[in-house]
Amino acid sequence: MRIVIVGAGQVGTQLARRLIQEKHDVSLIEQDEERARHASSRLDCMVIHDEGNSWKALEEAGILRAEALVCVTESDEINMIICSLASSHHRDLITIARVKNDDYVRLNRSGEQIMGISHFVHPDMEASRSVLDAIEHGAQGNILSFANTPYKVGSVTIGPGCAFDGLCLKDYHEKITGESMAILVERNGECMLPAGSTLLAHGDRVYFLAREAEMDHIFKMAGQPEKKPLRKIGIAGGGRVGTLIAEGLLERKEEGGLPFFSFFKSLFPKTGRHITIIEKDHPLCRELAARFPLALVLNEDISDENFVAEERIGDLDLIIAATEHQEFNIITAVYLKSRGVTRVIAMVTGAGYAAIARQLGVDVVIPVKQAVVDAILSRLMGKGVTGIHSLVDGSTSIIEIDIDKTSSAVGKSLKEYSLPEGSLLMLASRGESSFLPRGDYVMEGGDHIFVIIRKGSEEEIRGLFGPGA
């Protein structure tokens, strides 16, 4: 696939790198000279130093031969204008615009193209959904939910002396009797798909696939404290992400509001939760107080030790560090956990800081840029692919795909079908049922499957299960 990307910031370069690894033909346009030079020296693709809304630059990047255009500059309006300009010359082009303004996302509610834009990606929405999903499960670790299936993927660090410390995975089901499995082990910065002979050890970060009820038991066996209700929740930072999280928790459903969190309607009751928003900007605090009358809004600096002591912030069940500064979020989360806060969540920019934060004891880390890249990739992979979810630093992913009825996989059992090395078909859904497939699972057209893969295997997996494979 030929893809043109406009914007060589963190999202643009990370997206380009992932696509290049998948052998796509990528062209990158960046108006900032230093960014363009940096991208050119690190990426094996065409990098054009020019403005993205220049038709000459788009032509040079091969827009008329491209199948997709992704605009991820810092300006919503420029992203939308470029998509509209390109689609007016190339009507079959897939166009994706990253936007931060809620009003623009409202335009795309129906899923139809607006101004020639096929898809909008809202980074704050993607990050906020990840936070709310983690809160639903007690903020014990990063949790990945899948639509229309009761199974989830949860990651947890094995504690010293716990039931899993020293456990050989062939004996796993002597400890856990439900339908679950360990799908990935992260050890000393390296990832591996576990086998029956794999020995778990304290310090390993293990990703488990399980139903929700079983996940709580797995976390307990891994040495995590028993899951407790999170009733007193603090949000440090009242910006866009903090506001969306508060909206999700408080079920703000006034007419004209965004339908971002309808999924959480049944998960967060209006009573029994006490939300505190901590923001040092006074005018913003006034806006937040008017917008969320059920929340306590404090115009304070979360880093002020006297404030933390006087307001008994350490008594909170959970604090979400959601300011715009990732280093501050990590420090805040670690400090408040040392002051008695039961669970902490930190928003960071990329996977590098996520690894640091986890090592420092942050319970849940949300890498925002990675979530945005995953959302874009899910829309670029084509028919049949419904989702891509990066794990660890992006070196491993879970890909969701519908098996096409013309695929060569149809009618074959899992034990006779060869997947790329380092891949595992971990979950399948058929109709109303979801299950962990065994070797005798026979694939059918229309089955929805979840495959864990190494980076660089997305296209191969899509080819195996897509049309006419």
pLDDT digit string, tens, across residues 87-127: 988 888 999 999 988 777 666 655 566 788 888 988 888 88
pLDDT at 164: 95
The reported pLDDT for the residue numbered 288 is 95
Structure-token pair, residue 144: 């990945």
Give the chain's length: 469
Q: Cβ-count burial of 283 within 10 angstroms (0-12 exposed, 13-18 middle, 19+ buried)?
A: exposed
Contact 285, 254 (CB under 8 A): no
Residue 43 tokens read as 């990426």
Question: What is the structure's pLDDT at 419?
Answer: 86
pLDDT at 113: 66
Any residues with CB less than 8 A from the CB of 340 and at least 6 apart, and which? 314, 315
pLDDT score recorded for residue 269: 45
Partnered with residue 156 across adjacent β-strands are 206
Distance between CA atoms of residues 177 and 169, nearest Å:
13
pLDDT of residue 468: 67
User: One digit per residue, pLDDT tens: the chain, 469 residues?
Assistant: 899 999 999 899 999 998 998 889 999 999 999 999 999 999 999 999 999 889 999 999 999 999 999 999 999 999 999 999 999 888 889 999 999 887 776 666 555 667 888 889 888 888 888 898 888 878 877 788 887 889 999 888 899 999 999 999 999 999 898 889 999 998 887 888 999 999 999 999 999 999 877 888 898 899 887 777 889 999 999 998 999 999 989 864 433 444 444 434 434 444 478 999 999 999 999 999 999 999 999 999 998 889 998 888 989 999 999 999 999 999 999 999 999 999 999 999 877 788 888 888 898 999 888 888 888 988 887 677 888 888 876 778 899 999 989 988 999 999 888 888 888 999 999 988 999 999 999 999 999 999 998 877 777 888 888 776 5
Q: In what order do the strands lie in the sheet with 318-321?
A: 296-298, 274-278, 232-236, 318-321, 343-348, 364-367
Task: Give pLDDT, residue 224.
Answer: 81
pTM, entire model: 0.79
Q: Please tell me the predicted confidence (pLDDT) of residue 107.
A: 66
What is the residue whose two structure tokens read 């827009």?
A: 63
For residues 451 and 444, is the Cβ–Cβ distance under 8 A?
no
Looking at residue 270, its pLDDT comes to: 47
Domains of the chain: 2-121 (3.40.50.720), 127-131+228-371 (3.40.50.720), 141-221 (3.30.70.1450), 381-465 (3.30.70.1450)
* 302-314 residue pLDDT tens: 988 899 988 889 8
Query: b/e map of 310-319 (b: 16 or more CB within 10 Å)?
Result: ebebeebbbb
